[in-house]
Every structure is written in C-alpha cells, then in structure tokens.
Amino acid sequence: MAERADVVFVDGVRTPFGKAGEKGMYWNTRADDLVVKAIVGLLERNPSAPKEQIDDVAIAATTQAGDQGLTIGRTAAILAGLPKSVPGFAIDRMCAGAMTSVAMLAGSIGYGQYRLAIGGGVEHMGHHPMGSGVDPNPRFVAERMVSEDALVMGATAERIHDRFPHLTKERADRYALGSQRKTAAAYEAGKIQQDLVPVAIRTAEGWGLATRDEVMRPETTMEGLAGLKTPFRPHGRVTAGNASGLNDGATAALLASADAAKEFGLNVKMKLVSYAFAGVDPEIMGIGPVPATEKALRLAGLKMDDIGLIEVNEAFAVQVLSLLDHYGIDDDDPRVNPWGGAIAVGHPLASSGVRLMNQLASQFAERPDVRYGITTMCVGLGQGGTMIWENPNYSRKAAKKA
C-alpha cells in the first residue's frame, strides 16, 4: 500500500523570458523546445534523480495547439530524452498553469501515488497571441454570466481600480518602478541568473544565446510611467508600464516525496505546506489571490503574520496592491517580491507559477530566519491560486537574531 507522504520542491529552473512577437528573441524558437530545454537543464542540475523513476511530467500551456499542442507534457518528456516509460500530460489553468501542474503533482505525491515528478509550463505568446483560436460560448454574454471585460485582462485590472479607488494609478506606477529596480539589483547580484538555463536562439544574424530576460527596463522612471498610454480605457490607469507584457518562456520544477528526495540524495529547497485555488468574478479576476490565499492559510493553520516572504505574480501592479491592501501590507514591504517580478521580467502565462517558486526557493536559502513563504497569482476568468511553502533552512536562532 502506498503511504501518504510529505511533498518537497527539489529544484526549479526556467528559460530567460523573451519578448513576444517577431522582434522577440524566441520568434524562431519553438515553444516545445523552450520547455524541453528547461527540463533538460533541470535534470542536468539534479543528476542523482533517476530518470526512469520519474512518475509523471505535467506541462501547462494556455494554448494547447501547434508547438504547444499534442499533449505537451508527453511530447516534451520524449524530446527531453526521458525514457519512453515516463508518462506525461498537458494541463491548463491559464496564468496558473505551472502552479496547477505543481499542485496536482503534489497531490499525487502526497497521496503516495507518485514519488518523483516534473511540473512546469510554457507559453510562447508570440506564436500563440492571447485569445487566438478561442471561441467563447455566446451564453456568457447572452445570459450576462460575465461582462465583456472578462476576456480582456487589462480591462479587468481597470475594474480593480474602480472597486478600490484608493489604489491609484500613481501607487501602481510606483509599485512597478520598484519591481524594475528590485529586478535590476537582483540581476546585478547574480540572483536571478542562477536558475536560468541558456537557450540557443536562431536569428537573422545567426545563432545567439539567450542568457537574460529580454524585457527588463531598469531605466524606468515615474515620469516615464506617467506618460504611457492607457490602452484599455481612455484616461484609464492600466499601462504597459504597470503591467506585465506579452512574453515567451518556459519553466520546469522537480518535485518529490520527502523520502524519495532522501533516497536519491536530492537537495530539498522547499517543503509544501498547503495549496488552494479559488474563483472570483471573471471581470475582476485580479483579486483572485485574496480568497485563494485565505483558503490556503486556513488549510495550513497559518496567518498572514506567519508568512515571511511573498512571491506574487505581477500580472498588473494594481492586482498585487489589492492583495497587499487586503492584508494591510505596505506597497513596498520588503517581504514582497524582493527580487522584483513579472512587471520587470515578464509573464509567459502558463509558465510563471514555477518562476515564483524558483525565486522563493532561492530566497529561502538566503533567509534561514524565514519559516514560511507563499507563491500566489491571479488567473484569467476569475481565479486565484496560492501555495504555501516551508523553508527547510529555517532556524529559530536565525529567526531570533533577525
């Protein structure tokens, strides 16, 4: 009989994130190749993980067609050179795709069915522009199930500003500026690079190598942000500067049961405490992290005060602010996204969840004073997802000193 198990996050990597579109560095690179490189890089870093004992490969993609189609978890496993005996599947929860793949694999590990698994996600928004090929059921509008804004993410972000007038454009811009600066500093200190796998890219000038995120703007200023257009509403608040852009990229993480990690000598970066997903009105999807976090905290028996680090996906600055506001956390609280976030590095939809985990895991290593951290994100069509993690490096002594 299989036994219930503790679930651990062994390691995670990602490709550098590119700018979507013809001018982006991955225009000539296939989406499946991106996630395959992430998986190969992950396994190379963890050579003691026996490939033939990987129980499943779950890869998320929002668009599951073309170079993201054909059951991408399975094709990526084969292309990455995993034994053909290792199965794989595709999974989708839009922006929380990779987070969902990790959560669902964790469920299987926790229930004792799996011992080792790879989760991750990929989104090539250049090859698969948002909304391409979708065919929404007319009932959504006819029966007023959701407003028309629900499918335009920027418009849903404007709605958060409507609901919480004190979350002003100025606050959103300032938050975005902070994200750029924190990411620039983290890059300077070599913190982001440690979890990047380089990707060979084909360009009109020959082969190159992607080693950094492509869209960062360390030169950002408040004045610059103030002058940007508000594409979702005339005189609106959401701009390209206080939102994440359109990106290409992939992530992969290695999960294990605690005893499998021990058996194979795998380093443990994080221990899973709880996870939860929750729904909200689709037209204001950005507040999804609030109920998801509430639920995850409840399941963990923890309070927000117990959380020392928060990695929140920055789909929109205002959506981050709504979460922080709910818990009375300052906009510039140092626990929040210490190395910046999606506003600076980008948000290739289904891949981003594991990026949050990578960064939280790396921060855990530096912060033995922190016991718990969360990764959380909002999801299109009105959802949020949160995973709570425990730091295996935690020490009371360090915590006391801090």
Partner 1 sequence: MMTDYTKIDFSELETLSDDEVVTHSYVRDIPISEGRTLALITLDNGRDHTRPNTLGPKSLLEYAATLDGLRERAAAGEIHAVAVTGKPFILAAGADLSKVAEIPSREIALRMGQLGHHALGKLSEVGVPSFAFINGLALGGGLEIALNADYRTVDASTPAVALPEVFLGLIPGWGGAYLLPNLIGIENALKVVIENPLKQNRTLKAGDVLELGIADALFPSVNYLEDSIRWADGVVSGRVKVKRPNEPGKVERLVKWDAAIGIARKMLQSRIGSVPKSPYAALDLLKAAKSGTKAEGFEREDEVLADLIAGDQLQASVYAFNLVQKRAKKPAGAPDKALAKPVTKVGVLGAGYMASQFALLFVRRLQVPVVITDLDQARVDKGVAYITGEIDTLRDKGRISPDEANRLKALVHGTTDKSEFADCDWVIEAVFEELEIKQQVFAEVEQFISPEAVLATNTSSLSVEQIGAKLQHPERVVGFHFFTPVAVMPLIEVVKTSSTDDATLSTAMVTAAKLKKNAVITADTPGFVVNRLLAVLLGEAMRAVDEGTPFETVDEAMAPLGLPMAPSHLLDLVGLKVGAHVLDTHHAAFPDRFYRSENLHRLADYGKLLEKDDKGKVKGFDKGAMKIVSGGTNPSSPDEILTRLQDGLARETKLMLDDGVVSAAEDIDLCMILGAGFPFQMGGLTPYLDRVGASERVFGDTFHHPPIRGVDA
235 is a catalytic site residue: no
Q: How far is the CB of 210 from partner 1 (least distance, A)?
A: 10
Q: Single out the residue of 8, 36, 91, 302 in contact with partner 1 (rule: CB under 8 A).
A: 36
378 is a catalytic site residue: yes
Q: How far is the CB of 136 from partner 1 (least distance, A)?
A: 37
Instruction: Give me the phi and psi of 253, to 5 degrees please.
Output: -135, 150
Cα distances from 284 to residues 21, 148, 292, 318, 401, in angstroms, run 27, 11, 14, 11, 41
Instruction: Of 211, 245, 250, 249, give the one whose Cα is nearest residue 228.
Output: 245
CA distance 27 to 19: 9
Q: Single out the residue of 81, 129, 131, 227 in contact with partner 1 (rule: CB under 8 A).
A: 81
Q: Which residues contact 308 (CB under 8 A, 6 or more apart)?
A: 335, 367, 369, 370, 371, 372, 373, 391
Q: Report the site for partner 1 in 273-332 (rule: CB under 8 A).
A: none
Dihedral sign, Cα of residue 172, residue 161, residue 227, residue 345? positive
Q: Single out the residue of 14, 37, 159, 169 in contact with partner 1 (rule: CB under 8 A).
A: 37
Q: Single out the residue of 47, 142, 207, 400 in contact with partner 1 (rule: CB under 8 A).
A: 207
Q: Single out the residue of 209, 222, 226, 402 in contact with partner 1 (rule: CB under 8 A).
A: 209
Half-sphere exposure of 237 (CA within 13 A, CB side): 24
Q: Which is nearer to partner 1, 138 or 206 (CB)?
A: 206
Options 46-54, 79-87, 219-227, 276-284: segment touching partner 1 (CB under 8 A): 79-87
Q: Which is nearer to partner 1, 14 or 161 (CB)?
A: 14
Q: Single out the residue of 129, 131, 136, 208 in contact with partner 1 (rule: CB under 8 A).
A: 208
Instruction: Of 355, 374, 368, 370, give the one whose Cα is nearest residue 12.
Output: 355
83 binds partner 1 (CB under 8 A): no
Count of residues in the chain:
402
Q: Which is nearer to partner 1, 40 or 343 (CB)?
A: 40
Which residue in this structure is represented by tokens 């790879």?
118
Instruction: Of 293, 155, 326, 343, give the one whose Cα is nearest residue 233.
Output: 155
Q: How far is the CB of 41 from partner 1 (least distance, A)?
A: 8
124 is a catalytic site residue: no
CA distance 212 to 296: 33
Options 76-84, 279-287, 311-319, 382-390: segment touching partner 1 (CB under 8 A): 76-84
Site size with partner 1, rule: CB under 8 A:
20
198 binds partner 1 (CB under 8 A): yes
CA distance 327 to 314: 17
40 binds partner 1 (CB under 8 A): yes
Q: Single out the residue of 57, 118, 196, 197 in contact with partner 1 (rule: CB under 8 A).
A: 197
SS3 content of the chain, % helix, strand, coil (to 5): 40, 20, 40
Q: Which is nearer to partner 1, 65 or 209 (CB)?
A: 209
Q: How far is the CB of 81 from partner 1 (least distance, A)?
A: 6
Residues at the interface with partner 1 (CB under 8 A): 36-37, 40-41, 79-81, 197-200, 202-209, 211
Show which residues are catalytic: 95, 347, 378
